[in-house]
Amino acid sequence: MPKKKTQKSRKKAVREASKSSKPKKLLIVESPTKAKTIKRYLGDEFLVLASKGHIKDLPKSRFGVDIEHGFKPTYVTIHGKSSVIKAIKEAAKRADVIYLGSDPDREGEAIAYHVAQEVRKVGKNDIKRVLFYEITKDEVKKAIENPQEIDMWKVEAQLARRILDRIVGYKVSPLLWKAIHKGLSAGRVQTVALRLIVEREKEIQSFVPQKYWRLIAFFEKDGVRFKAVYQPKIEDEKEAKRLLELARQSEFVVKSFSKSMKSTAPPPPYKTSTLQQDASNKLGFSAKFTMRLAQELYEGVELPDGTMHGLITYMRTDSVRMADKAIAAIRKLVEEQFGKEYLPAKPRKHRDKGTIQGAHEAIRPTEFERTPDSLGGALRRELHKLYSLIWRRAVASQMASAKFEVRTAELTGNEGLSLRAEGKILKFDGFYRVLGDKPQDVLLPELVEGEKLKPVEVKLEEKETEPPKRYTEATLIKALEAKGIGRPSTYAPTIATLFEREYIVKDGRALKPTELGILVNDMLIPRFPELFDVNFTAKMEAQLDEVEGGKLHWQELLRRFYEKFSKELEKVESNISELKNASIQVLDEKCPVCGRPLVVRWGRYGKFIACSGYPECRYTRPINDIVEGVRCPKCGSQIARRRSKKGRIYYACVNQDCDFVMFNEPVGVKCPNCGFEIMGRVRKGRFKNKKIILRCPNCGFEMEEESS
């Protein structure tokens, strides 16, 4: 029904455009929400349609890249987009000018290019490219008044990236299907991200902790208790105990005491990666969820007064630069709300690092007057949290530095035993006034050189060296960015794919590789040492930037890549049996049917035990819990109780060639309605009304379970 309604409304818009005697201008964006917001700004002169993302892509059912003829791609209409293209072409026939307003990045440029191809088929050549870095009335009109040409270098950079990913996905993923099971995938960035997670896990598992001791003495003066620490790490227990006794017997003399003022400048406004990191650390949002919310804030939110407003600038950006008008707006707001002391003498200029795509700004609010408090009842909870994070970071980035008084003292005891004490007090909060997260004060009283102090307590802290921490989404994104792997727009979908393939799971907020993830990593990394090398992947990103900058032809990039990749691929394909054997674990047990050794294999539902003589011998049994006395109604194999990655219990056939699955506990009772061999036990109702029924997984028939 929703699809029909969309088509009907689209046809109505086209009819209205044809009836009007006034010349129509057609604007095509990629999102219906974006179209709705922009339409309110442009009025009746414009017809605004949405392509709903890409309209063309490489085919799903075949490779679609002619490697022998310059990597020529075959693009096809994406399923379900024929009606969208038809509506665009019909509207284009009646328009004097066509504007393409898809997102201002490589993907958006590719969308604009493919839409332009379709529009030209109806004889329309007056096509203009417009870039919306923020969806506000002034900026939308400004973009319309200053149109550009489609940036073919960006289009070619997107094309090169798409073909690179297609080559890796289509050539490497089938190797995993043959060796493990279908449905697995490898990816140019995805597999390198998995590599980082797996290698960190192996570091943790192989880590051998070493004991050490810290000597801490506590002193009091003027009612302030403070601590002083013996700086070197003590690695010998006897020495630690000797120093403990020495400190207890000592009267310490203040050898030196100093005070100084230090400033801390505010962090820059958010770019994509840092927004994802902070949203993960402070709000507990996944990268995927963060980007979904940010897209909503960018494209337009309907406020209680019925108006639509884009609340933030474009959310896929490498830049921390802000427009002069935005800086001026922040400075005005800071002076009015907090006073001149919170305003630096000159506007802050945060510098970008590396190659920045286009004229992007940082992620910032479009109108700083829309404070988080003013939107408290207008945005749903998660959206408001993210907007508040963005607003506070952008405003804080232009505020005065925080000022701290730092105190340092060195105390000397018997035998020259030296302790160090430090204090830090926030004297002026500066940008912390808006950003929050003020550091705690560490008190150290005023000391005088030569002053003598007796410790009120001395203790040893026994500690162990700790292994590196597992990655969280935030720290993984930080590592990927630091190593030059992928782009900000790829981080969220990359991590999401690792979860979907069940290569990783979350342990709290930490990312932990599954047994399957480790297996995939250990199969691919040694066999494709260059393809999935961290530095090689980063080099490919740099070359894609060169294509976008017009310094490298996209076909030359692909030629260089494929020359090396094909050699690695050919070597692996020539020894596919070795690859298959790498995923199989031989058990010290014989098959009860044919006497061959039993092995542990992988199937779509996890590991199971099978005969090594497959397919001649089809003996299998699950590693997971077997449901006793119930057999699969499709093939007669055993049924095992499983748990999904989200923790849901389900029941599946252990035969890897059988797709039988049910979600209720199987019971060996034949359905009286359709004759299906088993039924599922379902608990209905609550408390006193609770009862157990049997439900047929085939026809849905229900009946009460007979008591034994």
Question: Which residues are the active-site residues?
Answer: 314
Closest alpha carbon to 46 in 22, 10, 19: 22
Q: DSSP for 262-287, please give it.
A: EEEPPPPPB-HHHHHHHIIIII---H
Closest alpha carbon to 535 in 95, 59, 145, 196: 196
User: Who's near 212: CB < 8 A, 6+ residues apart?
Assistant: 233, 234, 235, 463, 464, 465
User: Who's near 72: CB < 8 A, 6+ residues apart?
Assistant: 65, 66
- Residue ranges of alpha helices (H) inside 341-482 are 381-396, 432-435, 473-482
Closest alpha carbon to 504 in 495, 603, 285, 487: 495
Q: Distance between CA atoms of 422 and 429, rounded to whole angstroms?
A: 20
Judge whether 350 and 330 are in contact, CB under 8 Å.
Answer: no
User: Who's near 88: CB < 8 A, 6+ residues apart?
Assistant: 28, 49, 51, 115, 118, 119
Q: Distance between CA atoms of 455 and 349, rounded to whole angstroms?
A: 48
Burial pattern 521-539, b for ≥16 Cβ within 10 A else e, equals bebbbebbeebbebebbbe
Judge whether 214 and 229 are in contact, CB under 8 Å.
Answer: yes
Plot region of 189 (φ>0 → left; ψ -120 to 50 → alpha; else → beta): alpha
Strand, coil or helix: 99? strand
DSSP letter at 20 equals -
Classify burial at 476, counting beta carbons within 10 Å of its beta carbon; exposed 0-12, middle 13-18, buried 19 or more: buried
Residue 625 is encoded by which pair of tokens?
């819990």
Count of alpha carbons within 13 angstroms of residue 353, beta-carbon side:
7
